[in-house]
Chain A
Amino acid sequence: MLEVKNIHAAYGDAITLHGVSFDVQPSEILCLLGRNGAGKTTTLKTVMGILPVTSGSVTLEGEEMSSLPPHEIPRRGIGYIPQGRRLFPELTVNQNIEIGLMTRGMGKDTKEWVLELFPRLRERLKQTAGTLSGGEQQMLATARALCLRPKVLLLDEPTEGLQPSMIALIRDVILKMKNEGFAIVLVEQKVDAVLQVADRVVFIENGRSVDRATAADLKRDPQMLTQYLGV
């Protein structure tokens, strides 16, 4: 499905990724783990074309993504929930959803589907996104990305700053998406939350993918967690 091979990327002259590789298949959750500043968010931004790939490749179902204009990447079916939600704060909930629907020309059935997943958003459709609570904003960010009906969903710290009940809701939605056949790449700081949902884990250190393991192996032997995260 999505295959990332030895990608390098830079912010201006500063090289920040020095070789990250991973792949993710349908109905699978792959988690990128690493310390702050290791390059996890940069990896997702590079896959989305926000940062250009200087070498290496990103392919979706065999099609090279890194040579496409950045706005074509979501149109091919890669959905993105950025860190900090990055909603359009002065647009209404409905307009944020419309932007998501426009990306791949989805219609009312998709809108109904996401509003059934997050019924609270239906009550807030005319409210501007910037006035929502943190939990509601995360629901909207997730709903907006799901409006693409993406093949692959990239989530960057979706539970950051949320209360436990909201974290549980987001986790349930992620698992539901997995069961519906989505390939999911998750960046998350909370190791416990990762081990509850992830199938596989790739460790990122200093802009490189340095190790990988299954979640089941990490639960049995957390030595890698200690080595790469100090937990």
Chain B
Amino acid sequence: MEFGPHLMLASLEGAVIASVLVLTSMGLSIVFGVMRVVNVAHGEFYMLGAVLAWYVTSLLGGHPAVGFVAALVAAPLLVGAIAASADRVILKHLKYDPDRTIVATIGLLYIIQQTTLMTFGPDARPVAPPFNHRLALPWFEFGDSGFAMYWPWGLSTTSYKLFVIAAAAVVLIALWLLITRTKIGLIMRATQQDSETAQAFGIPVGRVYSMVFGLGAALAALGAVLVVPIQQAHYLMGADPLLLSFIVVIIGGLGSLPGTVVAALLIGMSDGIISVFFSPTLAKIIATFLVAMVLVWRPQGLFGRSVP
């Protein structure tokens, strides 16, 4: 395949990675932005979403679409509820102290991971996509006879991958509307800016924190449900999303939601493109190098504000 069509193919793969990454990173960013908690267990909520998606689909059987739709609803809700309970039982009692919550979420990481291993076993589990039509993609070239369209061999994607991109965009818009246009969003932003004053205006800060921790985990789980028909679900799959999400929120600026979106697109696209042309390992090396550069030259991230 020529370079142009090959790049387009790599960009599409990158867009799928970016779509899932943007959801996962938004979860991590919202939790840090509102609660100032660095959630090291975030990748395990992603893993749990994927494993529960497999469990729900295998439990229901029938047409793959039925199980997938059920998983799309049930897995984020279950994971969100587990995270909200973890907040009430663990983080609340640590008074959201930044250092102690890091240690606590490391503990939570191992509890979730090992419980999943004991319950579901070590095998990787496939989930059938609800639909998966192969779509050939056209390529345009300017030649002697003007613009010409042709169908290069191998330049194709699947309807499911396009669905992942569209679904992530819809969820992102819904999240933006929730935060900017609703009463719940206003309460979340007030709590983020000054939790003590928010409390003095009748906002139950503890409940807001539980809801936000649950929402962050549910977003990670949603990303995982979307990805699990492409990648298989297994108990160790949380590490990569955690690393990439941290890379995204550091580059975008901790707690900055627009920064998170831009950085997720940047890292996701570059990860896809570099993985296709070179290797996935090189993609991770470059991403972590980029984080190091951002931390040296702009520690507040691309969109974050420096602390005076």
**A interface, CB within 8 angstroms of B:** 48-50, 69-72, 74-75, 80, 82, 86-91, 95, 98-100, 102-104, 144, 148
Question: A50 touching B200 by the CB < 8 A rule?
Answer: yes
**A74–B187 CA distance with the chains assembled, in angstroms:** 15
**B interface, CB within 8 angstroms of A:** 183, 186-187, 189-190, 193-194, 196-205
Supply 12 A–B pairs (Cβ within 8 Å), ascending by A: A69-B204, A71-B205, A74-B200, A74-B202, A80-B200, A91-B190, A91-B193, A95-B190, A98-B186, A99-B190, A102-B202, A103-B202
Q: Whole-angstrom distance from the CB of B160 to the nearest CB of chain A?
A: 39
The interface residues of chain B lying within 8 Å CB-to-CB of A144 are 201
**A98–B196 CA distance with the chains assembled, in angstroms:** 17
The interface residues of chain B lying within 8 Å CB-to-CB of A69 are 204
**A4–B183 CA distance with the chains assembled, in angstroms:** 34
Q: Whole-angstrom distance from the CB of B201 to the nearest CB of chain A?
A: 5
Contacts A86-B194, A88-B193; A50 near B186 (Cβ below 8 A):
no
Question: B186 touching A86 by the CB < 8 A rule?
Answer: no
**A25–B15 CA distance with the chains assembled, in angstroms:** 64
Q: Is the interface of A mostly helix, strand, loop or mixed?
A: loop
Question: B199 touching A88 by the CB < 8 A rule?
Answer: no
Question: A71 touching B193 by the CB < 8 A rule?
Answer: no
**A100–B198 CA distance with the chains assembled, in angstroms:** 10
**A71–B206 CA distance with the chains assembled, in angstroms:** 10
Q: Which residue of B lies closest to A71 (CB)?
A: B204
The interface residues of chain A lying within 8 Å CB-to-CB of B189 are 88, 90-91, 95
Q: Which residue of A lies closest to B189 (CB)?
A: A91
- Most-contacted residue by chain A among B187, B193, B197 (CB, 10 A): B197
A50 in complex: contacting residue of B190, B196, B202, B204, CB < 8 Å? B196
**A95–B186 CA distance with the chains assembled, in angstroms:** 8
Q: Whole-angstrom distance from the CB of B178 to the nearest CB of chain A?
A: 15
Question: B186 touching A75 by the CB < 8 A rule?
Answer: no
**A48–B193 CA distance with the chains assembled, in angstroms:** 19
Question: A50 touching B199 by the CB < 8 A rule?
Answer: yes
- Most-contacted residue by chain B among A72, A88, A90 (CB, 10 A): A88
| Supplied contacts A82-B200, A88-B193, A95-B190, 19 more A-B pairs, CB within 8 Å | A50-B200, A70-B199, A71-B199, A71-B205, A74-B201, A86-B196, A88-B190, A88-B197, A88-B198, A90-B193, A91-B186, A95-B186, A99-B190, A99-B198, A99-B201, A99-B203, A102-B201, A102-B202, A144-B201
**A87–B200 CA distance with the chains assembled, in angstroms:** 12
Q: Whole-angstrom distance from the CB of B305 to the nearest CB of chain A?
A: 10
Q: Whole-angstrom distance from the CB of B60 to the nearest CB of chain A?
A: 41
Q: Which residue of A lies closest to B200 (CB)?
A: A80
**A93–B225 CA distance with the chains assembled, in angstroms:** 40
Which 3 pairs across A and B sit closest by C-beta, in order of nearness? A103-B202, A86-B197, A88-B193
**A67–B218 CA distance with the chains assembled, in angstroms:** 34
**A70–B195 CA distance with the chains assembled, in angstroms:** 12
Question: B194 touching A88 by the CB < 8 A rule?
Answer: yes
**A118–B203 CA distance with the chains assembled, in angstroms:** 25
Q: Which residue of B lies closest to A103 (CB)?
A: B202
Q: Which residue of A lies closest to B208 (CB)?
A: A71
The interface residues of chain A lying within 8 Å CB-to-CB of B187 are 99, 102
The interface residues of chain B lying within 8 Å CB-to-CB of A102 are 183, 187, 201-202
The interface residues of chain B lying within 8 Å CB-to-CB of A103 are 201-202
Q: Which residue of B lies closest to A100 (CB)?
A: B201
Q: Whole-angstrom distance from the CB of A106 to the nearest CB of chain B?
A: 11
Q: Which residue of A lies closest to B191 (CB)?
A: A88
**A102–B205 CA distance with the chains assembled, in angstroms:** 14
The interface residues of chain A lying within 8 Å CB-to-CB of B190 are 88, 91, 95, 99
- Most-contacted residue by chain A among B189, B190, B194 (CB, 10 A): B190
Question: B197 touching A82 by the CB < 8 A rule?
Answer: yes
**A104–B105 CA distance with the chains assembled, in angstroms:** 36
